[in-house]
Amino acid sequence: MLDFYNINLRCEKTWSIFSEGKTKGVFQLESNLGRAWSKRVKPTNLEELSALIALIRPGCLKAMSGDPPKSMTQRYVDRKLGLEPVTYFHSSLEPILGPTYGVLVYQEQAMQIAQVLAGFNLQDADVLRKAIGKKKADIMAKVKKSFLEGANKTGIVTKEESEEIFSWIQESQRYSFNKSHAVSYAKNAYWSAYCKAHYPHEFFCSYLRGSEWKQDSHEEVYELVNDAKINDITIATPDLRDLKKHFYIKSIKNDPVIRFGMVDIKGVGSNVVDKIREAVEQCGTDFDWKFFLEVLCAKKPMINGEKKPKIINITAAESIICSGAVDFLHKSRQEMLYEFNMWNKLTEKEQQWIAENCKDKSFLESLQACQPTKKLGGGTSNVKRSEILADMITLVKNPPHSLEDTANFIAIKEEKLLGASINSSRADYQSEDKVNTTCKEFLDGKSGYMVFGVEIKRVNTYKIKKGRSKGQNMAFLTIADNSCAVDDVVCFPEEWLKFQNHLQPENVVVLIGERDKKKGSLIIKRVMEN
């Protein structure tokens, strides 16, 4: 059992999780905001990780200071990376702000400043902290007065300096953390990152199991599956033979994979899995297509000579087929879905007769053998039933559409039922002569002339507020192929104006881009609709 209190706190593999922004699932840093700032800050110890967690609060992100104006968060990053000198506004602040590069991060620092500059005792300093947190104007006015009067008495800073200091204390501390809180959060963040680095299958399996409790469980599954792909973790579709209810780890050809459980399929409940397991135990049989239809999907299945209630309803059966849970039967999902729908149109008696008399026959042969006569027990003896069967036989021989699985069909069904496409992407049919790069190759560092065949997953537009392009729109996108998804995709105004009609969610396009040398983003240069 892993002893979290004695793990290596200097593990390079763990700290690389933070520096590379691969913090999906990492405590406090799993959001897009957390991932982006983690990549910028690149923490290498608990002190810096604590600061990062505190710095991504609204107060530090919104509090602007200096010339040019920067948020407290950005100023911390720039100073840590040596992009601007570390200054302290006043020499008296250096002992207090030294560990955070001259940036006010924690509540305790604000309290210490009030003690040093304004002569506050601990009680008065705590009143300051509470007043800022509660954002009550009347209390804040009193505290400010006390601070300025105290600063005047100590004479360490001028009146103008004390007013300036109080203003950024007030702004930055509005939603700030106390340090003890941030440190405890940092430890939890490090522990979860350590698990992700050293026990990735267990990490992702655990988080996927927890996705059902999220407000948007399908979105959470999508994000986690994509992150697993980025980290070279294989995710597999459910398997009816295992009958595990929730995500689990399975060894396939000596390699561990994370497989969806049956209840992780939309439309399949825990009670359905229990009934399937009971039927399998009673029949003592291996799964095959005839067992799936004639027992699990029968209107009144016969088990050990006894008629039983229906085991799998229509919705659950279609979900099981289209999710890939019966792919081991080596029939296309389209074909299985088609035959299931035909099977469901048979009467109870016709299904029972086929189950009893056509054990070695194919589905088509079973239909051909079934004649609705009272003698055979295959249903009613009316002519209409014979005509219906004849039509079904014709449709099985000559389906109105192809029963081959397409990448698009599989991707759409898996996204709907599982939350993410596992075996294919809507962009899979892009010809190899068009594309030279996958999303995963880009994330692994490929650069130069890159051509992608991708689906547009998300688009966020932004109106530029200053500079030469002020008032123009640009866009930030997420693109995906079967290798993974890329979030950090930028389309500048000129290209957005040309290609915005192509760059819409669910569109499949051929995209040409290049890597931004400074930020590493993918910059869109040209788009061709597929």
Beta-strand relationship, 473-480 and 450-463: antiparallel
Q: What is the CA radius of gyration of the chain?
A: 31
For the residues 321-332, what does the mean pLDDT come to? 96
Specify the residue for token string 């995709």.
489
Give dist(CA 490, CA 514) in Å, integer. 10
3-state secondary structure of 42: coil
pLDDT of residue 164: 86
pLDDT of residue 129: 80
Greater pLDDT, 168 or 330: 330
Give dist(CA 222, CA 219) in Å, integer. 5
What stretch(es) of the chain map to CATH 2.40.50.140?
439-529
374 pLDDT above the threshold of 80:
no
For the residues 395-417, what does the mean pLDDT come to? 94
User: Minimal CA–CA distance to 21: which of 46, 41, 50?
Assistant: 41
3-state secondary structure of 487: strand
Neighbours of 374 (CB within 10 A): 10
Q: For the structural domain made of 439-529, what CATH number should be given?
A: 2.40.50.140
pLDDT of residue 430: 64
Give dist(CA 129, CA 126) in Å, integer. 5
Mean pLDDT in the chain? 89
**Both tokens of residue 276?**
């399937």
Distances (CA, A) of 525 to 29, 175, 452, 487: 31, 40, 12, 17
Are the C-beta atoms of 357 and 297 separated by less than 8 Å? Answer: no
| 2-6, 115-119, 134-138, 326-330: least confidently modelled range | 134-138
3-state secondary structure of 79: helix
Give dist(CA 108, CA 173) in Å, integer. 10
3-state secondary structure of 7: coil
Distances (CA, A) of 115 to 34, 54, 106, 132: 32, 22, 15, 16
In 150-282 the beta strands, taken as DSSP E runs, fall at: 235-236, 248-252, 255-259
272 pLDDT above the threshold of 80:
yes
Per residue, what are the HEC states of 245-280?
Answer: CCCEEEEECCEEEEECCHHHCCCCCHHHHHHHHHHH
pLDDT of residue 174: 64
Contacts of 71 (CB under 8 A, 6+ apart): 60, 61, 62, 63, 64
46 pLDDT above the threshold of 80:
yes
Greater pLDDT, 214 or 29: 29
Q: Is residue 378 very low, low, confident or very high in pLDDT (cuts 50, 70, 90)?
A: very low
Q: Is cis: bond before 309, omega within 30 of 0?
A: no
497 pLDDT above the threshold of 90:
yes
141 pLDDT above the threshold of 90:
no
Greater pLDDT, 285 or 491: 491
In a 13 Å sphere around the CA of 450, the CA atoms on its Cβ side amount to 21
3-state secondary structure of 478: strand
For the residues 360-378, what does the mean pLDDT come to? 76
Say how many Å lie between the first and final Cα of the chain, rounded.
51
Specify the residue for token string 């706190």.
9
Give dist(CA 513, CA 441) in Å, integer. 13
pLDDT of residue 377: 46
Q: Is residue 173 very low, low, confident or very high in pLDDT (cuts 50, 70, 90)?
A: low
pLDDT of residue 107: 86
pLDDT of residue 276: 95
User: Minimal CA–CA distance to 277: which of 295, 259, 252?
Assistant: 295
**Both tokens of residue 490?**
């930028």
| H/E stretch holding 62 | helix 58-62
* Per-residue pLDDT tens digits for 3-35: 888 899 999 999 999 999 999 999 999 988 999
Q: Is residue 456 very low, low, confident or very high in pLDDT (cuts 50, 70, 90)?
A: very high
User: Minimal CA–CA distance to 516: which of 437, 438, 442?
Assistant: 442
pLDDT of residue 72: 84
For the residues 184-193, what does the mean pLDDT come to? 96
